[in-house]
Each structure stands twice: as structure tokens, then as C-alpha cells.
């Protein structure tokens, strides 16, 4: 008799905790060094916590995600899909966009740790507003989506269930963040007020959706018929 079986790729909880503690330690050391050698200031605890959550979750996801064996063709396809997903998220959140048409240039803004150094670039074709923690987060999602694509190639379409759930949740969370990014980047000075504004409800919503997305993409539930 055929029945449906759900498979989860889950490590021991102690291994997840160990990776998280190590990631937090490294981030804290780098943040202290950043504050020591720059004029960047601090912000509210909630504002400071958001990047640490993103980067820590990214480290846990990348370290503990199962990696199926794949041929070169599958790896290439998975890489293209993952990169495309990251670009879509970047576009939706305003991190990547068309040039504003103003004077082109490149500069670095010293926001609080992991909000900064924020890179701004406005070129002839594209504009970039890159917060370090979001670069890490989107790169992580791109990688995990590419691994989910490899799952589909290895186990069949049913393996995409977890990936579809995660992609839907994180893509959905990006929409309200567009307004927050636009508001923050439109403020004067790009100083501490920018990071404070970013700690509003939309950024907290985005953080929750991001954590859920990485969690689902890391354990990647697959449904098989046996």
C-alpha cells in the first residue's frame, strides 16, 4: 500500500546552538572592532539586535543545510535560480534598482554595527543601497534556494514543498519593507536616525519572515510516496 512520508533534514539541537553561539561571538568581536576604528554610533537594543538575528540565522542555515549530490548541470541551474531569487528580493526591498538619474557616485555610510557600513551607489544604470546584514541574509537565502532546487533534481517535484513555503513567506515579507527602506533612505544625513527608523514594525515583520524562511529551507520538508 502506498503512503506519503515526510522527510526532514534536522541536526542535533546542540549543534544548532553551538553554531549560533560561535556566530554571535564572531559578530560581536567584529562589531566592537568596527566601533573602535570608526565614528559609528549605537542605537536602541531592538535596532541593534535585528542584524545579529539575521546573520546568526544565516550561519546556522548555511552550516546545517543538507547538500544533495548534484551534477554540474544541476549545480549551474540551481545557482542561476538562487541568484535570480536574491535579485528579486533586492529589487522588492529597494536594495537594487534603476539609476535615479541624479549625479552618479559611490559612498559608505557609517551606521551602527551591521546596519553599516552601508554602501550607496548610483550609477548610469543601477542604484544600490546595501546594508551588510541584508547582503548576508539575501546571499544565504539564495544559497538555500539553490540547494532546494538540487533537492527537486534529486528527489522529484515533491521535494520542492519546503522551498515553495519558504520562498513565499520571504518574498511576501519583502513588500512592506519597500516603504520602510524608502523612508529610511530618504531621511537627511543617513545617520543614526536611519537605523532607528528601520526598527519599526515592517523590519520586525521582515525579520520574522526571514527566520521562518531560513528554517524551512534548512530542514526542507520533502514528501515522498512509499
Is the pLDDT higher at 135 or at 124?
135
Question: Is 107 inside any structural domain?
Answer: no
Q: Check whether 136 has a pLDDT greater than 60.
A: yes
Mean predicted confidence (pLDDT) in 15-34? 96
Q: How far is CA 45 from CA 59, 112, 134, 161, in A?
A: 21, 11, 18, 36
User: Which residue pairs, CB below 8 angstroms and at least 24 apart, start in 72-81?
Assistant: 74/149, 74/150, 74/153, 75/150, 77/149, 77/153, 78/146, 78/147, 78/149, 78/150, 78/153, 79/146, 81/145, 81/146, 81/149
The pLDDT of residue 123? 82
Mean predicted confidence (pLDDT) in 99-123? 85
Mean predicted confidence (pLDDT) in 14-38? 95
Question: Is 134 inside any structural domain?
Answer: yes
The pLDDT of residue 172? 56
Question: Is 125 inside any structural domain?
Answer: no
CA 169 to CA 148: how far, in whole Å?
Answer: 15
Is the pLDDT higher at 150 or at 177?
150
pLDDT band at 163 (very low <50, low <70, confident <90, very high): low
pLDDT band at 6 (very low <50, low <70, confident <90, very high): low
Q: What is the pLDDT of residues 39-54, one digit of tens each?
A: 888 888 888 999 999 9
CA 80 to CA 145: how far, in whole Å?
Answer: 10
* Average pLDDT value over all residues in the chain: 78
41: its cell numbers = 554610533
Question: Is 108 inside any structural domain?
Answer: no
Q: Check whether 185 has a pLDDT greater than 80.
A: no
> What's the total number of domains in the chain?
1
Q: Which helix (H) or strand (E) holds 109?
A: strand 105-109
Domain of 167 in residue numbering reads as 4-97+113-118+130-225
Question: Is 123 inside any structural domain?
Answer: no
The pLDDT of residue 3? 43
Question: Is 85 inside any structural domain?
Answer: yes
Mean predicted confidence (pLDDT) in 59-75? 89
- The answer to whether 211 and 181 have CB atoms below 8 angstroms apart is no
DSSP per-residue codes, 74-101: HHHHHHHHHHHHHHHHHHHHTSEEE--S
Question: Is 104 inside any structural domain?
Answer: no
- The answer to whether 214 and 20 have CB atoms below 8 angstroms apart is no
- Residues with Cβ < 8 Å from 38, sequence gap 6 or more? 110, 117
Amino acid at each position: 500500500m502506498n503512503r506519503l512520508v515526510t522527510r526532514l533534514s534536522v541536526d542535533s539541537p546542540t549543534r544548532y546552538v553551538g553554531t549560533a553561539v560561535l556566530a554571535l561571538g564572531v559578530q560581536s568581536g567584529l562589531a566592537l572592532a568596527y566601533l573602535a576604528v570608526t565614528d559609528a554610533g549605537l542605537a536602541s537594543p531592538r535596532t541593534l539586535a535585528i542584524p545579529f538575528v539575521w546573520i546568526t540565522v544565516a550561519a546556522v542555515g548555511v552550516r546545517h543545510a543538507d547538500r544533495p549530490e548534484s551534477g554540474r548541470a544541476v549545480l549551474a541551474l540551481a545557482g542561476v535560480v538562487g541568484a535570480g531569487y536574491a535579485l528579486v528580493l533586492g529589487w522588492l526591498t529597494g536594495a537594487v534598482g534603476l539609476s535615479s538619474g541624479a549625479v552618479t557616485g559611490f559612498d559608505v555610510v557609517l551606521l551602527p554595527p551591521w546596519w553599516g557600513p552601508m554602501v550607496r551607489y548610483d550609477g548610469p544604470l543601477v542604484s544600490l543601497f546595501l546594508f551588510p546584514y541584508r547582503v548576508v541574509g539575501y546571499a544565504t537565502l539564495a544559497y538555500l534556494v539553490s540547494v532546494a532546487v538540487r533537492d527537486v533534481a534529486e528527489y522529484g517535484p515533491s521535494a520542492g514543498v519546503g522551498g515553495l513555503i519558504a520562498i513565499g513567506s520571504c518574498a511576501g515579507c519583502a513588500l512592506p519593507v519597500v516603504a520602510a527602506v524608502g523612508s529610511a533612505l530618504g531621511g537627511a544625513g543617513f545617520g543614526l536616525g536611519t537605523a532607528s527608523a528601520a526598527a519599526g514594525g515592517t523590519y520586525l515583520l521582515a525579520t520574522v519572515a526571514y527566520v521562518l524562511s531560513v528554517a524551512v529551507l534548512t530542514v526542507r520538508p520533502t514528501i515522498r510516496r512509499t
